[in-house]
Amino acid sequence: MSKIRISAVSYTNTKPFIYGLQHTDGILNKIELSLDTPSDCAQKLIDDVVDIGLIPVAATLSLKHWEIVSDYCIGAVGAVNSVFIFSNCDIKDVKVLQLDPQSRSSNNLAKVLLKNYWKTNPVIVENAVDYAQSSDPNTAFVQIGDRTFGKKGKYPFVYDLAEEWQKFTGLPFVFAAWIANKPIPAEFMDQFNQSLKYGLDHRMELLKELPTRPDFDFEDYLLHKLDFDLTEDKKKALYLFLEYVKAL
């Protein structure tokens, strides 16, 4: 069997999965693994450069065929602590929102919340120069992943998008799921799931390999803020989110 091509997100939130793939027998011989930004991960699956991607869920809308191939995801029940809108003013007073160039789902989540929850309609700017540096009092920006670590105290208004989604819908949120663009052999999927579970079960060992920093708690993030099980409630949230994105 030819190797299964896999793209995974390069952020800290994916490290338990990568740890599992690297520390379970046999799986590495069956895959070609690349680590990418969320938007690049999605594009590789759309372009059929890979067979499976840990992709932002909004990107499934750009796939002709997609299927979930794992019991695990990048999700949260409440605050996730790595997906934010940072702002110098209350969200209702934001006139310009600058999107994160590395994001798909979180940018769309921000748009969904602005339209349906906060009931406001700022100008949306993609690919802004120094998009996260604006000092304008009515300009905010979306930022995701490791670049947000330690930033919560640096802005007067900070909105955790997973937490705001839960306030809006009462549901958890799925930022990224393991998605295939073609049928994958069941035997491989079983082994793949076992490897991912191994990584989740050994997060304490993984934490020993991570650098410490005074402004961010990796243990709290990987063990409590992130919720990796793709539960029925998360699937419900995933499909509800896609309906909101289609209506934007």
Taking a C-beta distance cutoff of 8 angstroms, is the pair 192, 27 a contact? yes
Sheet strand arrangement including 4-9: 31-36, 4-9, 52-56, 173-180, 67-76, 227-229
- Amino acid 10: pLDDT: 87
Label residues 10-45 b or e (16+ Cβ within 10 Å = b): bbbbbbbbbbbbeebeebeebbebbebbbbbbbbbb
- Amino acid 60: pLDDT: 96
Among positive and negative, which fits the CA dihedral 230, 235, 240, 246?
positive
Q: Tell me which of 110-119, 131-140, 145-154 is least confident.
A: 131-140
Residue 103 pLDDT grade (very low, low, confident, very high; cuts 50, 70, 90): confident
Q: Is the pLDDT of residue 192 over 80?
A: yes
Mean pLDDT, the chain, rounded, equals 95
- Amino acid 104: pLDDT: 81
pLDDT digits 0-9 by tens, 59-70: 999 999 999 999
- Show Cβ contacts of residue 166 under 8 Å, excluding neighbours closer than 6 positions: 77, 78, 172, 173
Inter-axis angle of helices 15-22 and 186-201, nearest 10: 110
DSSP SS3 for 196: helix
pLDDT digits 0-9 by tens, 198-221: 999 999 999 999 998 999 999 999
- Amino acid 216: pLDDT: 96
pLDDT digits 0-9 by tens, 157-181: 999 999 999 999 999 999 999 999 9
Q: Which fold has domain 83-169?
A: D-Maltodextrin-Binding Protein; domain 2 (3.40.190)
Q: Is the pLDDT of residue 1 over 70?
A: no
**pTM above threshold 0.75:** yes
Q: Which residue ranges does the chain devote to CATH 3.40.190.10?
A: 4-74+174-246, 83-169
Q: Which fold has domain 4-74+174-246?
A: D-Maltodextrin-Binding Protein; domain 2 (3.40.190)
